[in-house]
Amino acid sequence: MNAISIISAILTLIAGIGVFLMACNMMSTYLESAGSKKLKRLFARVGENKWTGVGIGALGTAAIQSSGAVTVMVIGFVNVGIMSLTQATTIIYGANIGTTITAQLVALGMFGGNGISTTVIFSAMAGVGAFILMFSKKDVWKNIGGILTGFGILFVGLSIMSGAMSEFAAHDSVKSFLASVRNPLLIVFLGALFTAIIQSSSVVTSIAITMVVAGLLSLDQGIYLTMGSNIGSCVVAIIAGITSGRNAKRTALIHLFFNIMGVVLFLLISLFLNLFTNGVWGFGRIFETLFPHAPQLQLAMFHTVFNVCTTLVALPLTGKLVNLVCRILPDQEETAKDEQPHLYYLDESMLRTPVVAIRQLKAEIEHMAKMAVENFQRSISIITTMDFSEASKFAQKEKELNYLNAELLRYMIVLSDKQLNQYDTHYLNTSIRSVSDLERIGDYAENIVEYADSLQAQQVTFSEKAIEEIRQMEGLVVDLYQEIRQAYHKLDREALERAYQIEDKVDELTKKMERNHIQRLVKGECTPLAGAEYLSLAQNAERIADHLINVGNTIKVL
């Protein structure tokens, strides 16, 4: 085999890997976009039932064709505290099962015999999908076109890789060299290393299938390479976990331990099979017997059986696995960190799965709204009681609202560059305004506390009647918030209509407070200084109501 043919084969293989990776990414993107609402509902159903977690992980991975994306997303959920370690563990089990779908598709594409191969048929879908993408305007057809294009290109990449393997297989020196690599541990290590480098177990498994079909590897060698790819796939999760909180690190470690446990289990089974049958029976021989004359299917089926069996073994041990990683990474004092402003539902790793990031963005905005209204109530309590014991907490929450405003805007700018469907794009655009509205509510609440400071400095207080009206205004604003929360969370137009009616009452009460203030001034029941702060407070409360209505109005365009 001369240098030119070696370089040609290597470059062809690299080209095939590149096309295959891009196809996987394209399919993942458009599948996420097409099934965004279903995917959001799917992960919202995570409960304490372990089988439910496995099912959600398997379905989610099969839906977006990326176990890495699902695992990183789960790490993000754990990092922000909305998913327990046990829940995350069962979803990771399921993700490993779901990722075997790619190998099954690859195996399916390598049938054909003397007729037209399925690879050619499936590759032709790239052209069909491209035409749909070019001429469609609706999201649903664009998603269909993108999925078909990605699906077709995947088999184009597979065909290129198969061609490269055929070139290698034509040279006895290459076959002899690969045949000499028999140590199972070495092959597992090479599979893990290769997967860690390209960060895709699907590609490594697909390459293994093409090599087995071309005769470059025996089925046993392909099996060990595939087992190693499962360990190498943990690199993505480990990278995501390193930069996250302690629970996220534990989740990444669970993923690693789970896959290592599966590999060790199957290596031991392989060892015992060889010992008790004098090397006659091994996994290769078993799957050759079960699926004769179909090497591609033999390896793909082993990949599925491996992950399903590992999950069945690990599922009863989930609690012990969680306890183990908690002992390895014990809890630490994080009080100082927890007091710092931070995102509650979003994590940088979630950007890998935009449809889930959008869902979590909504939860973050709802939480910000709750925080803003609670701070408004805190400001009312301070100014009506002149009790400043909550002032430090108020200042901390105001600082956090400012942080959320800046951080969410930054996050949304990054998210806007991702592939989103029309609905999510509209929601993202409205969210920028909503976050700004909520930050302004915090500013008006801060004004009210400043009015309280001014009253305290002048040793002035509001009259009982004025305090009663302020409490009435507070009640209306809180009622308005409750309706807006219902409207925003469930896209409830009826709740928005009720919010409009409450806003009218806020406007009426503001005018009433102005009239009553003048009357109290005339009667000497109120001082000019207290009156000025009182009127400003009423106007600030009215503006808070307006900003809440702005947030509610965003559902009109969704």
- DSSP code per residue over 25-78: HHHHHHHHHHTHHHHHHHHHT--S-HHHHHHHHHHHHHHHT-HHHHHHHHHHHH
In a domain, 211, yes or no: yes
**pLDDT above 50: residue 337:** no
In a domain, 338, yes or no: no
Would you say 46 and 56 are in contact if contact means Cβ atoms under 8 Å apart? yes
In a domain, 133, yes or no: yes
Residues 384 and 242 in one domain: no
Report the C-alpha gap between 275 and 284 in whole angstroms: 15
Would you say 556 and 495 are in contact if contact means Cβ atoms under 8 Å apart? no
- Look up the CATH number of the domain holding residue 469: 1.20.58.220
- CA-to-CA separations, 179 to 12, 219, 225, 250, in angstroms, rounded: 22, 11, 13, 39
Report the C-alpha gap between 548 and 481 in whole angstroms: 7
Task: Report, as an integer, the average pLDDT of 338-360.
Answer: 79
In a domain, 339, yes or no: no
Report the C-alpha gap between 137 and 230 in whole angstroms: 40
297 Cβ contact partners less than 8 Å away, ≥ 6 residues apart: 107, 291
Decide: residue 91, CB within 10 A, 0-12 exposed, 13-18 middle, 19+ buried: buried
pLDDT tens-digit profile of 42-90? 666 666 788 888 988 888 787 666 677 777 778 777 876 667 888 889 9
Report the C-alpha gap between 8 and 263 in whole angstroms: 34
**pLDDT above 80: residue 471:** yes
Residue 152 is encoded by which pair of tokens?
Answer: 């077709």
Residue 276 is encoded by which pair of tokens?
Answer: 């008790």
Residues spanned by the domain of 122 = 3-328
- pLDDT score of 75: 78
Residue with tokens 């993000």, as numbered in its chain: 76
- CA-to-CA separations, 434 to 399, 409, 427, 460, 486, in angstroms, rounded: 18, 10, 10, 36, 15
DSSP-assigned states of every residue in 403-421: HHHHHHHHHHHHHHTS---
Residues 162 and 292 in one domain: yes
Residues 180 and 129 in one domain: yes
Would you say 302 and 208 are in contact if contact means Cβ atoms under 8 Å apart? no
Report the C-alpha gap between 510 and 501 in whole angstroms: 14
Report the C-alpha gap between 210 and 166 in whole angstroms: 9
Report the C-alpha gap between 134 and 283 in whole angstroms: 47
- CA-to-CA separations, 231 to 15, 130, 263, 469, 510, in angstroms, rounded: 25, 35, 8, 66, 65
Asked which of 293, 328, 363 is the last residue of a domain, the reply is 328
Q: Look at residues 499, 448, 457, 455 and name the one whose alpha carbon lies nearest to residue 477.
A: 499
Reported as a pLDDT band with limits 50, 70 and 90, residue 302 is very high
Who wins on pLDDT, 37 or 212?
212
Residues 141 and 260 in one domain: yes
Reported as a pLDDT band with limits 50, 70 and 90, residue 321 is very high
Report the C-alpha gap between 506 and 502 in whole angstroms: 6
Reported as a pLDDT band with limits 50, 70 and 90, residue 364 is very high
In a domain, 337, yes or no: no
Report the C-alpha gap between 36 and 32 in whole angstroms: 5
Give me the count of residues in the chain.
558
Reported as a pLDDT band with limits 50, 70 and 90, residue 385 is very high
Residues 312 and 356 in one domain: no
- pLDDT score of 336: 43
Residues 355 and 277 in one domain: no
Report the C-alpha gap between 489 and 439 in whole angstroms: 19
In a domain, 214, yes or no: yes
Task: Report, as an integer, the average pLDDT of 478-501.
Answer: 95
How many structural domains comprise the chain?
2
Report the C-alpha gap between 375 and 444 in whole angstroms: 10
Would you say 454 and 446 are in contact if contact means Cβ atoms under 8 Å apart? no
**pLDDT above 80: residue 215:** yes
What value, to the nearest 5°, has the Cα angle with vertex 450 and ends 446 and 455? 145
- State the first-to-last Cα distance of the chain, in angstroms, to the nearest integer: 62
Residues 311 and 355 in one domain: no
Asked which of 328, 360, 376 is the last residue of a domain, the reply is 328
Residues 231 and 323 in one domain: yes
Report the predicted TM-score, pTM, of the whole model to 2 decimal places: 0.71
In a domain, 479, yes or no: yes
Residues 178 and 324 in one domain: yes
Report the C-alpha gap between 441 and 544 in whole angstroms: 5
In a domain, 335, yes or no: no
Asked which of 300, 328, 356 is the last residue of a domain, the reply is 328
**pLDDT above 70: residue 334:** no
Residue 279: how many CB atoms within 10 A of its CB?
10
Highest mean pLDDT among 171-180, 194-203, 336-345: 194-203
Residues 439 and 501 in one domain: yes
pLDDT tens-digit profile of 136-192? 878 788 888 888 898 888 888 878 887 887 777 666 676 677 778 888 999 999 999
Reported as a pLDDT band with limits 50, 70 and 90, residue 335 is very low
Residues 354 and 319 in one domain: no
Would you say 225 and 56 are in contact if contact means Cβ atoms under 8 Å apart? no
Residues 310 and 415 in one domain: no
- pLDDT score of 392: 94
